[in-house]
Structure 1
């Protein structure tokens, strides 16, 4: 996926880029009822084109990284919740609780909460490598 970004800072090897976050409904958020307000995100990427502060650049998101992030964001919570439910039902049934299904569901919710803590830890590690997720394609001279 290609996007346009604005270079707001540079150093020896990297550039800080402001990119408009892409929403699921495209550029026209009024066309859907989800009321999604798009915001800007800042990323740090390798400055392979020697971009200067004030330049607009075209960047590409590496598909493999995006798919990996999507898999992590959706699979981990679902998997941990299902594991928590089955583990809880089995555990509480063997312990003789009458409400073992409700307790199993509660354990699934607890595991879901744990998954979000795990996602936060993973997100911090991934954000350190964000310069490998994005790549500069070209400097857009006519955007200024």
Structure 2
């Protein structure tokens, strides 16, 4: 499982002109799932996301977690994180899990984040989405479970 985390001042996801998820301050998580990912991978990343200290304290150091700043999560499924561009000019997505495998793990991951006490908004699995965000910092972190 691979997650690209972007610290955001605000963010939203729109599908067919309708906002399906929006947050104020928090993290936008672009979530990729591969064939051998399990609920344990989702649990690991959910705990890591909840515990990361990526927000400034009074001294300007990244020392506060998302719950300490009352941040929210916007989770977006993104199979293209497993795109392989080593050969040719068109990506291969054979490392991305098929939707029947990926969607349940993505849903489980979002619930695992909620169990960490976080507010979670989402995109729509498998839909063409417009993601809008203000990258705060910018701070971007890649988290992998393997």
TM interval, short-chain normalised: under 0.3
Larger Rg: 1
Structure whose residues are more often strand by fraction: 2
Relative contact order, higher structure (CA 8 A, sep 6+) = 2
- Normalised by the length of structure 1, the TM-score is 0.24
Structure whose residues are more often helix by fraction: 1
